[in-house]
């Protein structure tokens, strides 16, 4: 099976996106959430859709979606290689269906979900959006154990001055 419509560099980025893990936008959001002081788990497979970031104490999850693979309604999401258009269309349609199903399932289990899109990373105040979605750090019902854990770890770049 060959879909060589990408340059080697592009291809490795695409392959990372295919796997859906540790993509650049996702790492960007992860770093941001960490810098904001939130504690989270990654890719919890016991949850619908295996959300990218899971905040157990807040019963909240964040998905970071690549526009192309998850069929975002934006310019990047509309860009499809012509040679294998049917192949990508099917794949993207399946991803979208899976995303919608995961969101509904999460909601029915009492989880709140936020979806952040790759294209938004450049132009939006993600720190503000993440903060508004999760609430301030330290103000939700974290267990004592979780609080203890978070206090042990130093937060890079957050020195008290």
Phi/psi for 88 (5° steps) reads -65, -40
CB under 5 A: which stretch of 21-29, 44-52, 67-75, 149-157 binds Zn ion?
67-75
Binding mask 119-158 for Zn ion (x = CB under 5 A): x---------------------------------------
Give 123 or 144: the residue with its C-beta nearer to Zn ion: 123
CA 11 – CA 27 distance, rounded (Å) = 19
CA 93 – CA 95 distance, rounded (Å) = 5
CA–CA distances in Å: residue 54 to residues 1, 18, 141, 159: 35, 21, 15, 25
Binding residues for Zn ion, total number by CB under 5 A: 7
Q: Is 80 in the site for Zn ion (CB under 5 A)?
A: no
Q: Are 70 and 95 in contact (CB under 8 A)?
A: yes
Q: Is 33 in the site for Zn ion (CB under 5 A)?
A: no
Q: Is 74 in the site for Zn ion (CB under 5 A)?
A: yes
Query: Residue 138 Cβ, how far from Zn ion at the closest point, in Å?
Result: 32
Q: Is 64 in the site for Zn ion (CB under 5 A)?
A: no
Give 58 or 72: the residue with its C-beta nearer to Zn ion: 72
Q: Are 49 and 103 in contact (CB under 8 A)?
A: yes
Q: Report helix, strand or coil for 61.
A: strand
CB under 5 A: which stretch of 22-30, 40-48, 77-85, 103-111 binds Zn ion?
77-85
Q: Is 72 in the site for Zn ion (CB under 5 A)?
A: yes
Beta bridge pairs of residue 53 = 42, 62
Beta bridge pairs of residue 60 = 55, 112
Contact residues: Zn ion, CB under 5 A: 67, 72, 74, 76-77, 117, 119
């Amino acid at each position: 099976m060959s879909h060589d419509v990408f340059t080697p560099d592009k291809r490795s980025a695409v392959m990372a996106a295919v796997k859906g893990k540790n993509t650049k936008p996702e790492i960007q959001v992860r770093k941001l959430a960490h810098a904001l002081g939130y504690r989270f788990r990654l890719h919890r497979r016991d949850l619908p859709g295996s959300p990218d970031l899971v905040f157990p104490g807040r019963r909240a999850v964040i998905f970071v979606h690549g526009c192309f693979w998850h069929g975002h309604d934006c310019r990047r999401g509309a860009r499809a290689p012509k040679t294998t258009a049917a192949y990508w269309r099917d794949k993207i349609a399946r991803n979208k269906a899976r995303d919608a199903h995961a969101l509904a399932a999460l909601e029915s289990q009492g989880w709140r979900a936020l979806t952040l899109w790759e294209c938004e990373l450049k132009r939006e105040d993600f720190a503000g959006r993440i903060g508004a979605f999760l609430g301030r750090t330290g103000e939700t019902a974290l267990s004592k154990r979780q609080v203890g854990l978070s206090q042990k770890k130093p937060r890079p770049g957050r020195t008290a001055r």
